[in-house]
Chain A
Amino acid sequence: MLSLCMIVKNEEKTLARCLESVNDIVDEMIIVDTGSTDSTVAVARSYGAKVLFYKWDDSFSAARNYSLKHATGDWILIMDADDELEQSDKPKLLELMTNKNVDVYLLQTLNYVGNKPGLDVVCNLNVRLIRNCRGYRFEGEIHEQITNENPDFSKGRIRSERVKFHHHGYLHQNVIEKNKRSRNIRILQKVLEDNPDDAFTLFNVGNEFTALDNHIKALEYYGRAYSNFHPDTGYGPRLFFRMALSMNALGLYEEELKIINEGLEYYPDFTDLEYLKASLFHHQDKFTLAIRAYKKCLSMGEPPLYQSFILGAGNFRAHHALSEIYFELGDYNASYNHCVEAIRMNPDFTLPLNRIAQVLDKKGVKMDVIKSKLENFFEAIPDRTPFITLERVFSGLKRHDIALEYLLRAEKTDRDSADILYRKGMCLLYLKEFDRAVECFDSVKPGEFYEMARFRIALCEALKGNMYKASQLLEKTNEYKDDDTRTVYKTFVEILEGKKCEPINSNREESGRFVNIIFDLLSIVLTAGPPETFEKSLQLLNLIENDEVLLRLAKLYYSNGYYSLAYQEFMRSIKMFGKIDREGIKMLNKIFILPRRIMVSEVKDNGANNNSTSCG
Chain B
Amino acid sequence: MAQTIIQLPAANCSINSDMPDRNFSDYYALFLGRFQGQAVYRSLFLFEVPILPSGNIAKVELVLYIMRNDSSDCPKKFSIHRLTESFEQKTVSYDNQPIFDERPYAILTIRDEINTFIRIDITKLYNGWRQGQFPNCGVMLKSSDESRDSLVAFYSKEFENMIFAPRLEVKLRKSLAIEDETRTSNGSNGYSIGNPSEIYFFMGNEYFTDDDLNKALKYYKKAYECFDPGAQYGPKLVLMLVKVLNELDLVEEGLEVISCGLEFYPEFTDLEYIRSELLLSQGKISLAVKGFEKCLAMGDPPSNQRFIPGSGSYRAHYALSELYFELEDYDRAYRYCMEALRLKPDFTEALYKIVPILLEMHNGIGYIKSSVESFFRGSINRSSLMTIADIFIMSRKYDIALDYFVLAEKTDRDSADILYRKGMCLLYLKEFDRAVECFDSVKPGEFYEMARFRIALCEALKGNMYKASQLLEKTNEYKDDDTRTVYKTFVEILEGKKCEPINSNREESGRFVNIIFDLLSIVLTAGPPETFEKSLQLLNLIENDEVLLRLAKLYYSNGYYSLAYQEFMRSIKMFGKIDREGIKMLNRIVSKSSPKHITKEICP
A positions within 8 Å CB-CB of B: 250-253, 283-289, 291, 325-326, 329-331, 334, 571, 574-575, 578, 580-582, 585-586, 588-590, 592-593, 595-597
Contacts and interface: CB of A to CB of B under 8 A. Distances in A.
Nearest to B572: A574
A575 B597 contact: no
Given A283-B591, A331-B284, A592-B580, A288 B327 contact: yes
B595 interface: yes
A585 B573 CA distance: 15
Contact of A285 (B250, B287, B327, B578): B327
Contact of A334 (B250, B286, B583): B286
Given A571-B576, A592-B580, A595-B252, 8 more contacts: A251-B594, A251-B596, A288-B285, A288-B286, A326-B286, A578-B569, A585-B583, A588-B583
Contacts of B584: 589, 592
A585 B590 contact: yes
Given A288-B327, A575-B572, A596-B249, A581 B286 contact: no
Contact of A251 (B323, B328, B572, B593): B593
Contacts of B591: 283-285, 582
Nearest to B593: A251
Contacts of B332: 288
Contact of A329 (B250, B281, B287): B287
A424 to B, nearest CB: 38
B451 interface: no
Contacts of A329: 283-287
A295 to B, nearest CB: 12
A574 B583 contact: no
A387 B205 CA distance: 58
B292 interface: no
Interface in B262-284: 279, 281-284
B243 to A, nearest CB: 16
24 contacts: A250-B594, A251-B597, A252-B593, A253-B592, A253-B593, A283-B591, A285-B327, A285-B587, A285-B588, A287-B285, A288-B285, A288-B327, A289-B327, A326-B286, A330-B282, A571-B576, A574-B573, A575-B572, A578-B573, A588-B578, A588-B586, A589-B584, A595-B249, A597-B250
Contacts of B279: 330
Contact of A585 (B249, B284, B586): B586
B289 interface: yes
B589 to A, nearest CB: 8
B251 interface: yes
A252 B590 CA distance: 12
Chain A, interface SS category: helix
A291 B573 contact: no
Q: Which 6 A-B pairs have the closest CB atoms?
A: A251-B594, A330-B284, A331-B286, A284-B591, A592-B580, A288-B329
Chain B, interface SS category: helix
A593 B592 contact: no
Interface string B233-276: 00000000000000001111000000000000000000000000
Contacts of B329: 286, 288-289
B324 interface: yes
A48 B569 CA distance: 66
A363 to B, nearest CB: 13
A228 to B, nearest CB: 28
B328 A593 contact: no
A578 B572 CA distance: 9
B283 A330 contact: yes
B240 to A, nearest CB: 20
B22 to A, nearest CB: 57
B18 to A, nearest CB: 52
A586 B587 contact: yes
Interface in B554-589: 569, 572-573, 576, 578-580, 583-584, 586-588
Q: Select the residue from A288, A291, A575, A593 with max chain B CB neighbours within 10 A.
A: A288
Contacts of A325: 286
B572 A595 contact: no
Interface string B276-313: 00010111111101000000000000000000000000
B597 A252 contact: yes
B583 A286 contact: no
Contacts of B590: 581-582, 585
Interface string B431-448: 000000000000000000
Contacts of B327: 285-289
A326 B594 CA distance: 24
Contacts of B251: 595
A331 B287 contact: yes
A284 B252 CA distance: 29
Contacts of B595: 251, 581-582
Nearest to B320: A288
Contacts of A330: 279, 282-284, 287
A284 B587 contact: no
A287 B286 contact: yes
A589 B587 contact: yes
Contacts of A586: 587
A230 B597 CA distance: 32
B249 A288 contact: no
Contacts of B249: 595-597
Q: Select the residue from B250, B251, B286, B323 with max chain A CB neighbours within 10 A.
A: B286
B575 to A, nearest CB: 10
A593 B579 CA distance: 11
A258 B90 CA distance: 77
Given A253-B593, A582-B591, A593 B286 contact: no
A288 B283 contact: no
A571 B572 contact: yes
Contact of A593 (B282, B324, B569, B593): B282
A595 B328 CA distance: 27
A173 B324 CA distance: 44
B294 to A, nearest CB: 14
A593 B586 CA distance: 15
B570 to A, nearest CB: 10
A252 B600 CA distance: 12
A585 B250 CA distance: 25
A339 to B, nearest CB: 15
A589 B283 CA distance: 10
Interface string B398-421: 000000000000000000000000
B289 A288 contact: yes
B387 to A, nearest CB: 30
Nearest to A285: B591
A539 B573 CA distance: 23
A571 to B, nearest CB: 6
A584 B595 CA distance: 13
A593 B573 contact: no
Contacts of A253: 592-593
A326 B279 CA distance: 13
B66 to A, nearest CB: 33
Interface string B313-354: 000000000011001110010000000000000000000000
Contacts of B324: 288
A125 B252 CA distance: 52
Contacts of A578: 569, 573
Contacts of B594: 250-251, 582
A588 B572 CA distance: 13
B284 to A, nearest CB: 4
Nearest to A573: B572
Contacts of B592: 253, 284
A615 to B, nearest CB: 15
A597 B249 CA distance: 8
Q: Select the residue from B283, B576, B588 with max chain A CB neighbours within 10 A.
A: B283
